[in-house]
A and B are shown apart, each in its own frame.
Chain A
Amino acid sequence: DIVMTQSPDSLAVSLGERATINCKPSQSVLNSSNNKNHLAWYQQKPGQPPKLVIHWASTRESGVPDRFSGSWSGTDFTLTISSLQAEDVAVYYCQQYYSSPLTFGGGTKVEIK
């Protein structure tokens, strides 16, 4: 199974500042057939289901503000919120959908400092 190690567990960021969340799979999630990383980022607010923010590691979903971006370096993946807004307070999860069983990171709680 691919273990998704997500960090930090929580972070507090001032409004308008940058928030950075990391996710490291225990093995590659790059599909050589389509040359894409099968990694997604979700946002979950209290009492709501998760909402997809990013798929293919860097493709932003329609309607998601452009302050959200996904990137990677090697097998280290990052979700960046460039200018944190109050409505971005949530728990964020990474997920690999490269191979079964699909696996999630442990989540990162983002709060306002």
Chain B
Amino acid sequence: EVQLVESGGGLVQPGGSLKLSCTASGFTFSGSAMHWVRQASGKGLEWIGRIKNKPNSYATAYAASVEGRFTISRDDSKNTAYLQMKSLKTEDTAVYYCTRHYYDSSGYPIPDYWGQGTLVTVSS
């Protein structure tokens, strides 16, 4: 069974930092790209960024709203993806989800599983 479990959320002051983890199980983690998506309370979904797998050079991409402040990384030996967040703002308050995009037989990514999410609150 595919499972994605986020951790590391909590309360942080504006300007502070936080690192989220997404621990995967039930599939070959190294074969998938990992994405992060957030959702503010009562709002829609916002894609934050992604990291591809090793054959795709661990390429990263980010939304403009977090570029330069957030960094996505992964440790395939630990089946874990990370979201390092710096210079946090009150508008970064949201539930943060990690999601899997697996590659089909032709090498094209397909989104599927989501974790349950972890809440990040940025407030003084």
Chain B binding surface, main DSSP class? strand
Q: Is the CB of A52 within 8 A of B112?
A: yes
Q: Is the CB of B44 within 8 A of A106?
A: yes
A contact residues around B35 at 8 Å (CB): 102
Is A51 an interface residue, CB under 8 A from the partner? yes
Contact of A34 among B106, B116, B117 (CB under 8 A): B106
Q: Is the CB of B45 within 8 A of A55?
A: no
Is B16 an interface residue, CB under 8 A from the partner? no
Q: Within B43-93, which residues are at the interface with A (CB < 8 Å)?
A: 44-47, 50, 61-64
* B-binding residues in A (CB < 8 A): 31, 33-34, 36, 38, 40, 42, 49-52, 55-56, 61, 93, 95, 97, 100-107
* A-binding residues in B (CB < 8 A): 35, 44-47, 50, 61-64, 97, 101, 106, 108-117
